[in-house]
Structure 1
Amino acid sequence: MSYENLAGRTAVVTGAASGIGQAVAVQLAANGARVALLARRGERLDAVAGKIRAEGGQALAVVADVTDDASVEAAVVRIHDTYGTVDLVVNAAGVMLPNPVDDGRIDEWRRMLDTNVTGVLRVIRAFAGDLVAAAGEGRTADLVNISSIGAHIPFPTYAVYGATKAAVTYLSQSLRTEFGPRDVRVTNVEPGLTETELATHIDSAELAGQLDGMLEQLGWLAPEEVADVVAYAASRARHVNLRQIMVLPTRQA
C-alpha cells in the first residue's frame, strides 16, 4: 500500500531487526521516509537496511539497546548527525517471557519491564524534543507505540507481559494530554496474534505448544499487516490522530 504523505519524513523505529519493527521500517522507507533502524543485532540490522537501500529507500542501521541509557543517547547523536531531527518515532522493541507468577522469575520481570516500559520511555525522552520542534514548524509529528491486545485480555502465565503492555497503552493515553496540545500525535497500536520472534522467547515446551495451538485455531497477522496500520495512521492529515487501534485476526475474539 502506498501512502504519499510519508515521503520526506524522518523516522526512528526500534526493534527493527525483526518482526513488526522490521516490517514498519521497510514500509515507511518504501513510502519515501528516511528511516533509522534501531536494534541490538547489528548483522540483522545491516541486512534490513541493505534490503531497503537496494529497493531505493533510505536507511541507517544503528545498533542500540533500549534498556541502556548510554546506548540510546549515542544512537540519538548518530541519527542527528546523519539525518537531523526526527518527526516520526515507532516504539516496536519488546520481549515476551510468559511464565506463572509464582515461579518468581524476577530476572524475566525486570527484562520485560526494562524493555517494554522503561525502554519505551527512554526512546520517548530521547526524541520528544524533536517531535515537538517538528510540530512547532508546522510539520507532521508522530509517536507510535506498539502495545498488545494483552493489555486488555488476560492470558494465563502472561500476567507480567500483559501488565507491561497495559502500561504502554495507559502511557500513550496520558501522553496525548501532554503532546496533543502541541500538535504531536500519539497513536497506540494493539496487535492480536502476530507471527513474530516473540514466540521463540518462550522457554517452556508446554506454553509454546499452547501458543501454537492458538495460532492454529485462530490464525495470525503477518508483521507487514500491522506495519500497514502504522503507516496508514502516520500518513493521515496532521490534524487527524488515530489514537487507539486494535488489530486482530478475524477469528480472535
Structure 2
Amino acid sequence: MSYPALAARTAVVTGAASGIGAATARQLAAGGARVALLARRADRLDALAADINAAGGQALAVTADVTDQASVDAAAKAVHDAYGRVDLVVNNAGVMLANPLADGRLDEWTRMIDTNLTGVLRVVHAFTPDLTAAAADGRTADLVNVSSIASHVLFPDYAVYGATKAAVTQLSAALRTELGPRDVRVSAVEPGLTDTELGGHIDNPALREQLGGMFTAIPALTSEDVADLIAYTVSRPRHVNLRQSVVLPTRQA
C-alpha cells in the first residue's frame, strides 16, 4: 500500500540489511521518503540502496553498529551530511538468542542487552534533537521502536530476550512523556511470529527445532506485513499517535 504522507520525509532505519528493516526501508522509500539505511553488513546495504534508487526512490547506505557509540556517532554525521535533519527514526536492529537462563550464557545476555536496549538508546540519543527540531518547525516527527510480543508474552528459555523487549516497550512509553509534549510521536510495534533471519541466531538445536515447528504450524507474518504497519503508523495526522501496536499471525494466540 502507498502512503502519500511519507513524501518529503527523511528517515533512518536501523537493522536495514534484512527482514523488517529492509522491508520498512523499501516501504518508506516507495512512499517518497529519503531513507538512510543503517546496519553492519555493508554489502547488503549497498545492494538494498541500489535497488531502491533504481526504482526511483532515495536511499543512503550507512554502515553502522548500534553496539558501538563511535559507530553510531559517525553514522549520524554521515546521515546529516547527506540528508540534513531527519524526522522519522525506526529503531529495528535487534538480536534474538535463546537458552535456559541456568546455562549462564553471559555472552548472549550481553549481546542482546547491548543491541536490543542500549543500541536503541544510542540511536534515540543521536537523533532526538532532529525530531524535536522538526516538530518545532511544525513537521511530523516520529520515533518507532520495534519491540516484540515477547515483551508481555512468556516463552520458556527466552527470558533475557523478552526482558530486553519489555524494556523497549517501557522505554517507548516513558519517552512519550518526554517527547509527546514536544509534538514528537513515539510508537512501539510488537510483532508476533515473523519470517525473518532472527531465528537463525539461535545456537541451541532443540530450541531451533521448536521455533521451526512454530513456523510449520502457523502461517507467519512477513517482514512486509510489519513494514506496512510501520508505514501506516507514521502516516497518521501528526496529532494522532498509535502508541503501541501488537501484530500477530491470525493463528497465533
Question: Structure 2 length as normaliser, TM-score?
Answer: 0.99
Letter of the 1:4 counterpart: P
Q: CA deviation at 1:188?
A: 0.4
Superposition pairs for residues 91-170 of structure 1, below 5 Å? 91-170=91-170
Letter of the 1:107 counterpart: D
CA distance in 2, matches of 1:224, 1:2: 13
Superposition pairs for residues 193-208 of structure 1, below 5 Å? 193-208=193-208
The percent of aligned pairs where both chains have the same amino acid is 70
CA distance in 1, matches of 2:43, 2:232: 29
SS across alignment from 1:11: strand
CA distance in 2, matches of 1:183, 1:67: 29
CA distance in 1, matches of 2:126, 2:145: 15
SS across alignment from 1:190: strand
Aligned to 2:236: 236
SS across alignment from 2:89: strand
Q: CA deviation at 1:217?
A: 1.2
SS across alignment from 2:97: coil
| Number of aligned residue pairs | 253
Letter of the 2:76 counterpart: V
SS across alignment from 1:251: coil
SS across alignment from 1:117: helix
Q: CA deviation at 1:215?
A: 1.3
Aligned to 1:211: 211
Aligned to 2:187: 187
Gaps of 5+ in 1: none
Letter of the 1:28 counterpart: L
CA distance in 2, matches of 1:49, 1:197: 19
CA distance in 2, matches of 1:154, 1:170: 16
Aligned to 1:248: 248
SS across alignment from 1:89: strand
Task: Say whether residues 1:78 and 2:70 are aligned partners.
Answer: no
What CA RMSD, in Å, does the superposition of the two structures yield over aligned residues? Answer: 0.4
CA distance in 1, matches of 2:50, 2:195: 23
SS across alignment from 1:209: helix
SS across alignment from 1:241: coil
Gaps of 5+ in 2: none
Question: Structure 1 length as normaliser, TM-score?
Answer: 0.99
Write out the 4+ residue segments of structure 1 that deviate beyond 3 Å after TM superposition.
none
Which range moved further: 204-213 or 139-148? 204-213
Q: 1:44-77 CA distances to partner (integer Å, 9 max, x unpaired)? A: 0001111101110000000000000000000011
Superposition pairs for residues 31-110 of structure 1, below 5 Å? 31-110=31-110
CA distance in 2, matches of 1:223, 1:61: 20
Q: CA deviation at 1:218?
A: 1.8
